[in-house]
Chains A and B, each alone.
Chain A
Amino acid sequence: MHADITLTVDGRRHQLRVDTRTTLLDALREDLGVTAPKKGCDHGQCGSCTVLLNGRRVVTCLVLAVAGDGAEVVTAAGLAEGGDLHPMQEAFMDHDAFQCGYCTPGQICSAVGMLDEAAAGWPSAATPPRASAEGAVAELDDTEIRERMSGNLCRCGAYAGIVSAIGDAARRTHAAAASGIPRPAREGGRR
């Protein structure tokens, strides 16, 4: 059985016909040629297919394309605005937060979704019970970042760089929000 669906991907609206068994990941990669989300495990373990689906990070291998009809998808390729990289992408480059790069688009989408979740006061398993009961916004130390990024694996083991890149991006975003600047300015040069 096939279904006609509409997906908005990185700001572009697509109408497509999919087999009802097709995952969102396969629809993006095979039908639309959007290859930023990567297929790692195909059963939700590795996080390399993470995108923002209607603003929340999800693994696209576990979403049926037909169930995503009408949804808005943002992949790592759609985070940049114009010629400027997203601050999270800048931070990943500044901190050497990858080696082979296969998990990177998923890591970056996950990190962007994670900062939104933390800013909304969502607790993690690393948040002290009392702080989470009070709904206090968690301070994103390395333990919090590691726990909140635990759905994304990196087989190269670039975790040290990933954690520091996300911490840096969180501080830049926080500073920009405090000063009312919508997008943080780039710090330093790219290697």
Chain B
Amino acid sequence: MDFLSPDTWAGALAAKAARPEAVPVMGGTDVMVELNLGRRRPHALLDLTRVPELARWGAEDGYTRVGAGVSYTRLVERVGSRAPALAAAARSVASPQIRNRGSVGGNLGGASPAGDCHPPLLAAGALVELASAAGVRRVPASEFYLGPGRTVRREDELVAAVLVPEPRGPQVFAKVGPRNAMVIAVVSFALALDVAARRAGTGIGSAGPTPLRARAAEEFLAREFDWAGGADPSPEAARRFGDLVAGAARPIDDVRGSAAYRRHALAVLARRAWARCAAEVRGGGV
């Protein structure tokens, strides 16, 4: 197995152009599992841990740009308040040891429908920055995922960064699993509100072939939410919202849970997310 270890971003893009089949690896917390268990035998790995550009983050035109190699730990510590739902997801990923190595870029590269970062990126309206030796493009998260492990990223491209809009209201993330740590989500859900524009964004994880948005639920919440006062929703409105979120999911039965359970749990998470956002609006924390 060839091991390519460029130490600049330009070098990494040149390496990917020359060897498009090379599997990019950052912290290794996904790729190494597949290697160790013999599920994958790549001819070449493209190690990105020595590329300094990938570990950077900063403000950019109303967004926070987070380099694809920023570890979950660092994301929580440094970027947390600028991307609350993403930070909440980041601090629920796997275990502390994994969070010291794993990164959003790896989550996007792997594109598991159960990846924890996807629902917050969808809900917040984030952009994924893809780069190749030929150029850079930014794709809305809602157009990034194509299927389990499949995205619009071309073979010669690398995930460079995510751009998360500045928060304009409460954001929450929740997931269901047998315990806090080392869980592949049974389902996950993120909700991000834009109080000034009176808009809502949603993201559903682990309940379809790709992470999904619940657009009908977003429109319903935007109409029904008490934007001025943050009053709790009526039981009917909360139930309807939960049903719309559950209805947007396309879950299957698998070892982690049944489709019926996933729909049920999503509806519960969605109702709680509304209540938590409402409480935050009431508390004036926006």
Contact = CB atoms under 8 A, between A and B. Distances in A.
Interface of A: 1, 3, 20-21, 23, 42-45, 47, 50, 56-59, 61-64, 66-67, 69, 110, 113-114, 117, 120-125, 132-133, 147-152
A68 to B, nearest CB: 9
Interface of B: 1-3, 5, 25, 27-29, 32-33, 35-37, 45, 47, 49, 73, 76-77, 80-81, 91-92, 94-98, 100-101, 179-182
B3 A66 contact: yes
B95 A151 contact: yes
Given A20-B2, A44-B33, A125-B180, A67 B97 contact: no
- In the A-B complex, the 6 residue pairs with the smallest Cβ-Cβ separation, listed nearest first, are A151-B95, A150-B181, A20-B3, A62-B32, A43-B33, A151-B97
Contacts of A58: 97, 100-101
B95 A125 contact: no
Nearest to A106: B97
Contacts of A152: 95
27 contacts: A3-B3, A20-B1, A20-B2, A20-B3, A21-B35, A43-B37, A58-B97, A58-B100, A59-B101, A61-B32, A61-B36, A62-B27, A63-B101, A64-B28, A67-B25, A67-B28, A67-B49, A69-B5, A113-B96, A121-B77, A123-B91, A133-B81, A148-B96, A150-B95, A150-B96, A150-B179, A150-B182
Contact of A151 (B32, B35, B98): B98
Given A20-B2, A45-B182, 20 more contacts: A3-B3, A20-B1, A20-B45, A23-B36, A44-B29, A44-B97, A56-B73, A57-B96, A57-B97, A59-B95, A59-B98, A64-B32, A67-B28, A117-B73, A123-B76, A123-B80, A124-B96, A125-B92, A151-B95, A151-B98
Contacts of B98: 44, 59, 62, 151
A44 B98 CA distance: 8
A62 B81 contact: no
